Structure formats: C-alpha cells, structure tokens
Homo-oligomer: A and B are copies of this chain.
Amino acid sequence: MIYVKNRGIFRSSAAALRGNPLQQPVSRPPTKITCSACTLRDLCMPLGLSKGEMIQLEQLSSVKRAFKRGDFLYRNGTPFTSLYAIRMGFFKTQVLHEDGREQVTGFQMAGEVIGLDAISGDVHPCDAIALEDSEVCELPFAQLETLSRELPVLQRHLHKLMSREIVRDQSVMLLLGSMRAEERLAAFLLNLSERYAARGYSPTAFQLRMTRQEIGSHLGLKLETVSRTFSAFQENGLISVRSKSVELIDLPGLRAFFAQQTL
C-alpha cells in the first residue's frame, strides 16, 4: 500500500502562528459548498443516504472557510452558531482556567466535526486553533437541527457524533487518571497512528503538528517529560523521533504498554 505523503504543505508567518488576539476567523472569501459533492462526506456526514435525502441535505448552506496556522477557528466565549467539519488540516482545542492553566482537550483532523461542546451553553467553552493551514466546512447548527428533524439518518448521525465525543473524552479521562507517562505517550502515538491510517496516510511515519508543550498539556505532562519519554522510546527501539518527525518502529511494543499491570 502506498500512502499519501504526510507532510506540512503550508507554512505561514510567525505572526499568524502566534495568532492575532483580536482577529476574527480569517475569512478568505467563503465558498458555498455541498456535502454531497464533498470527498470527506463519508467521514463527517451520514452514509447511505437515498437520492431524495441527498437532495434534502443540499439545503444545508454550508460554507467553506480557510485558516492559517495559528488562527482561531473560534474562541472561548464566542457565540455558538455552527459546527465545523474539518476538510483538511489540523486543529487543537483547549480550555483555559482563569489562573492561566490550559488543557488541550483534543487534536482534530480532517473529517472530524468540532464545536459540539458549545451547544449546551450557546457559547464556545473552549478555543479551537489551527495547527497548520486548514479548511473547515461551517455547518449552521440551527439548520442542522431543522434538517435532522426531517432526515432521521442525519439525526442519528448527529447523536452518534456527540456520543462518540463523550466516549473519546472518557478514554482521555482514563488516560489522565490512571496511566503513567510512558503509557500516555504510547496511547497518544497509537491514537494518531490509527487516525492517520483511517485517512490513507502512513500509520507509522508522520509529522507531529503540535509542540511538546501541547502534547504535554493534552496528556497532563510537562514538556520535558514528553521529550524525555520520546527519547526513552527511541533508545528502546520503539520509535524514531527527530523533532516533529516520528516513525513508529515497534507497534506491538508500543501497544504492550497497556498490558503492563502497574496496579
């Protein structure tokens, strides 16, 4: 099998990377698009729609938006209007504690839908930031709700999306609550690996899109611990790391970290 080459294609200015605090979501001329024509449809929208249902789905006035590295897709406190399906690129979501602490709640890639956490409060409870140049498809939630009253398949899909998010979060809780640094990092790498594989990229060689700091924040570790653990994995022949490039050399070995009983 040949994998699409998985490298950062876009680079942007450091200013964009740091993110202009006041800037609105970058609005390159938003393009109207239709789900039925989207190549990612299978990942983010329901499968097996009939022709008639497909036509109904067209009613969704989804708009495509582009973001540069460092741009905010949305910000904590911003009014909630839409969900966003990632068409390409890579995002992180983070919650900030008053006192400055931050927790990266997740990393999202193409085909994933983000913003579900904002439904409950009508305001985004976290930030979503592009970690590389990205494109999202904006899905106005009110329309999504209306439409899903007519399309049970869509309704069911929406419910599954939300529920899946809950399950994912619970597995992160398990990770944070009961795993050691090595296990957390192994879990993290294996998770990335699976998700790349599901998208046709190599499951064993990829570029990390996030810093050690961000990985650490997600895994409840300090960046030094992340770095050290990477190094340790490398010494043990499990992976090969060089800054942002990772190669998973011994997948079974990485998986074995879950067998080890620390209790």
A78 close to B (CB within 8 Å): no
Query: Is A95 within 8 A of B174, CB to CB?
Result: yes
A129 close to B (CB within 8 Å): no
A179 to B162, CA, bound (A): 27
A176: chain B residues at CB < 8 Å are: 173, 176-177, 220
> 8 Å CB contacts to B: which residues of A141-182?
145, 148-150, 152, 155-156, 158-167, 169-174, 176-179
A145 to B153, CA, bound (A): 11
A160: chain B residues at CB < 8 Å are: 119-120
Interface residues on A, range: 35 or more
A217: chain B residues at CB < 8 Å are: 177-178
A119 to B167, CA, bound (A): 10
A155 to B98, CA, bound (A): 33
A99 close to B (CB within 8 Å): yes
Grouping DSSP codes into helix (H, G, I), strand (E, B) and loop, the A interface class, with mixed when no group exceeds half, is helix
A102: chain B residues at CB < 8 Å are: 178
A177: chain B residues at CB < 8 Å are: 103, 176, 217-220
A179: chain B residues at CB < 8 Å are: 101
A186 close to B (CB within 8 Å): no
A50 close to B (CB within 8 Å): no
A27 close to B (CB within 8 Å): no
A252 close to B (CB within 8 Å): no
A156 to B152, CA, bound (A): 15
Given the interface contacts A98-B258, A101-B178, does A170 sit within 8 Å of B167 by beta carbon?
no
A172: chain B residues at CB < 8 Å are: 173
Query: Is B260 within 8 A of A117, CB to CB?
Result: no
A118 close to B (CB within 8 Å): yes
Query: Is B219 within 8 A of A170, CB to CB?
Result: no
The chain B residue with its CB closest to the CB of A218 is B177
A121 to B98, CA, bound (A): 35
A84 to B246, CA, bound (A): 44
By a beta-carbon cutoff of 8 Å, the part of chain A in contact with chain B is 95, 97-103, 105, 116-121, 125-126, 145, 148-150, 152, 155-156, 158-167, 169-174, 176-179, 217-220, 258-263
14 new A-B pairs (CB below 8 Å) besides A99-B259, A126-B170, A173-B176? A95-B170, A97-B174, A98-B258, A98-B259, A100-B261, A103-B174, A103-B177, A117-B170, A145-B155, A145-B156, A149-B150, A177-B217, A177-B218, A178-B220
